[in-house]
Amino acid sequence: MNSSAALTAFQALLQPQQMLCAPVDMQPYLIDWRKRFFGKALTVLLPSNTAELAQIVRICAEFQVALVPQGGNTGLCGGATPDQSGQQVVVSLKRMNQIRAIDLINQTMTVEAGCILQTIQAAAAEHNLLFPLSLGAEGSCCIGGNLATNAGGTNVLRYGNARDLCLGLEVVTARGEVWNGLRGLRKDNTGYDLRDLFIGSEGTLGIISAAVLKLYPMPLCQWTSLVATPSITATIELLNLFKQKATSLLTGFEMMTAESLNLIEKQFPQMANPLGENPPITVLVELSDHESEAHARNLIEEILAEALDLGIASNAIIASSIAQANTFWQMREHITLAQAQEGANLKHDITIPLSALDEFIATTDALLRKRFPKVRIINFGHLGDGNLHYNVAAPAGSDSTIFNQANEKIVHDLIYEMVERFGGSISAEHGIGQLKINNLRAHKGAVAHDLMQAIKTALDPQNILNPNKVLSIKSA
Ligand SMILES: Cc1cc2nc3c(=O)[nH]c(=O)nc-3n(C[C@H](O)[C@H](O)[C@H](O)COP(=O)(O)OP(=O)(O)OC[C@H]3O[C@@H](n4cnc5c(N)ncnc54)[C@H](O)[C@@H]3O)c2cc1C
């Protein structure tokens, strides 16, 4: 590694404002959103186009300097934070934020990696089109980060995750070459799917510089409802009722337990549950309709009436305005923030097959409460996809730092053992980063893990792209 030669080469390539070296300037790029991971860096670089990005990677390859790609830095697994060595370079894609083209006939948009998700949604909406990826951090996360983590969010039930919304990529490889795969094709069976290899690889195989995204017709209207249900079993029955009756109009189905909403009431009292005292489960249901307001309204009323008759719902409110619908969504989106305000907690972003979900929750809740009486289980998430944010917080009034330090491994091991037993995944949508790197081999199995390592070594033989994220590989 020759860091001083690399620094000299970066200086020759970039404008001073594109190369941050002062600790105070670098600081925001060195801490993750949860303030759990802290790193140091040789420098933070902000390329403004693909050619500059490729040149940066070529310099890193020549001088064997590792680099950490970063988008909005909202990731929840520490994937965008450099290590403690002070020898890694953070490459922020923020300045590469152009919308290159919107193709109204093909219904696609070509964007640079640093485009903020919300900007993309708004640009599509100007043409009465929808870019459906939607998540709590959409005001600051970037599409490159969304694709690198294969982000999920609240619309996966209808439109799929980031992978399903991307048709093509432009990627800078570990050698600093540019792979131009920016084709807006819905069918393309020409050998190995490189696009899918880079999506979800968390910056370890290449740096995404641009993408072609799928757009959809903007729904005419949306109806949002909050529904109280007596149990997880009833909630899953409610989901299946909506799937059967509303079919593709069902675009959101989010679950919040009473314990999750108790936190909202405590941290954000203005967002208290309009259903009154928190029922065991509160579900946020959203229907999106292309026919008419009346059609959607009648449908949601009809399904809710049936759910109440069947006893799988005990109460329901339909939002009477867009503003009220927004308050329902805010309540859901603020659970993550309420947890952050309450103190550190032990997070688990898991998926369980819907057929095993009620048994998984009953078994795991019981084991946790037996081991840690009064522990708080903040369980909420995108239930329509079987994705739970199954988070564990110290008993109310006790010190969360002490609780977490003493019990983190026990809690993770217990939950991940149950995830395996019930056929689930230890990372539904947030990725592996550095947070779950030690759990990956046991979860994927030796064969899959060895194949992943072989791919990494083939694409990045010097191990300069985001080393020690996802996989631990010894640098050459
Ligand atoms: C309040 C809140 C709510 C959230 N809700 C959701 C949710 O519902 N669903 C969900 O999936 N996630 C959610 N997240 C997590 C996070 O927003 C997503 O993981 C998001 O996709 C990260 O995008 P980013 O631009 O911030 O990426 P970063 O955090 O900057 O980076 C994430 C990873 O991608 C890599 N990377 C970034 N850009 C590139 C690039 N151009 N090329 C290659 N690699 C790159 C980084 O090295 C890192 O490994 C939430 C986060 C917060 C704070």
Q: Which amino acid is at 106?
A: N
User: Which distant-in-sequence residues (6+ apart) come within 8 Å of 31 by Cβ?
Assistant: 37, 38, 39, 81
Number of domains in the chain: 4
Q: Answer whether residue 476 shows pLDDT above 60.
A: no
pTM here? Answer: 0.95
Range of the domain at 456: 431-460
Residue 386 · residue 357 · CB < 8 Å: yes
Q: Say if residue 199 is in the same domain as residue 337.
A: no
Nearest alpha carbon, ligand 1 atom 8: 153
Interval between CA 182 and ligand 1 midpoint (Å): 21
Give pLDDT tens digits for 22-67.
999 999 999 999 899 999 999 999 999 999 999 999 999 999 999 9
Give pLDDT tens digits for 242-265.
999 999 999 999 999 999 999 999
What's residue 370's pLDDT? 96
Q: Say if residue 355 is in the same domain as residue 446.
A: no
The pair of structure tokens assigned to 402 is: 């002490």
What's residue 340's pLDDT? 87
Residue 194's CATH number: 3.30.465.10
Give pLDDT tens digits for 127-180.
999 999 999 999 999 999 999 999 999 999 999 999 999 999 999 999 999 999
- Does some domain include residue 476? no
What's residue 197's pLDDT? 98
Q: Say if residue 342 is in the same domain as residue 229.
A: yes
Residue 45's CATH number: 3.30.43.10
The pair of structure tokens assigned to 290 is: 């292309």
Tell me how crowded residue 23 is: count the other CB atoms within 10 A of its CB.
10
Q: Which of 43, 78, 94 is the last residue of a domain?
A: 94
Considering the chain, what percentage of its residues have pLDDT values greater than 70? 99
Q: Say if residue 158 is in the same domain as residue 176.
A: yes
Q: Say if residue 170 is in the same domain as residue 88.
A: no
Residue 270's CATH number: 3.30.70.2190
Q: Say if residue 339 is in the same domain as residue 378.
A: yes
Residue 281 · residue 255 · CB < 8 Å: yes
What's residue 41's pLDDT? 98
Nearest alpha carbon, ligand 1 atom 50: 137
Q: What is the mean pLDDT of the chain?
A: 96
Q: Which of 41, 66, 94 is the last residue of a domain?
A: 94
- What's the mean pLDDT in 389-406? 93
- What's the mean pLDDT in 284-300? 94
Q: Say if residue 20 is in the same domain as residue 32.
A: yes
- What's the mean pLDDT in 417-440? 97
What's residue 19's pLDDT? 98
Choice from 60, 141, 172, 179 to test ligand 1 binding pocket (greatest atom count within 8 A of CB): 141
Q: Which of 94, 123, 158 is the last residue of a domain?
A: 94
What's residue 96's pLDDT? 98
